[in-house]
Chains A and B, each alone.
Chain A
């Protein structure tokens, strides 16, 4: 089944304890992206990647790191989490910004990772 898999789905951690949220897709997509969703603020993009070894900042990159060493994986790293990073995180992927059957950036989302930083 074509899907984007995120882990963990739920995590409670403490301030300053480094954590990684993994994201993997099995659709051979070039484009991958991380979003955070907060009440009243909608979806805000953290980082995105157009292809292996190519990453760019989104709207809210502060406090996050990413890497794209393989096409299928795009982990989100919080080096020193703080309470304001408590949020619902989504990974998403697509063929490319203008590729695939749609000729457009149609995203497939993961199920989400709910992170609480105490």
Chain B
């Protein structure tokens, strides 16, 4: 059951530029999480935003959540080559397992 859908599927930017990726979902959530996956490796949790929050920051990451539009965005500022990875949103509806989207592949070109 695919709940979250990331957009775009792939994104290529120059080092130093900002990268924005979006996630849309279908049903009410308790929180939404973003994970990063370096090529072929395990996912790593980046940030969590709760349904009553509108914006969260963590270092160069900024996440927004609009529950009325059922959407979230992840902004990575001043991108570096090391940010090259796939980024997944995961929706948490409470007492059920997380549901992951298909991910956005980000390439940061030095």
Interface residues of A (CB under 8 A from B): 4, 33, 35, 40-43, 45, 48, 58-59, 88, 90, 92, 97-98, 102, 104-112, 114
Contact = CB atoms under 8 A, between A and B. Distances in A.
A112 B42 contact: yes
Contacts of A105: 92, 97-98
Given A43-B100, A59-B1, A97-B95, A104 B30 contact: yes
A109 B42 contact: yes
Contacts of B92: 104-105
B88 A43 contact: yes
Contacts of B97: 33, 45, 48, 58, 97, 105
B106 to A, nearest CB: 15
A79 to B, nearest CB: 23
Interface residues of B, number: 26
B1 A107 contact: no
Nearest to B45: A106
Contacts of B33: 104, 106
Contacts, number: 58
Contacts of B101: 42
B40 interface: yes
Interface of B: 1-2, 30-31, 33, 35, 40-45, 48, 50, 88, 90, 92, 94-98, 100-103
Contact of B102 (A40, A108, A112): A40
B40 A88 contact: yes
21 contacts: A4-B42, A35-B100, A41-B102, A42-B88, A43-B43, A43-B100, A58-B97, A90-B42, A90-B43, A92-B43, A97-B95, A97-B97, A98-B94, A104-B30, A104-B33, A104-B92, A106-B33, A106-B48, A110-B42, A111-B41, A112-B42
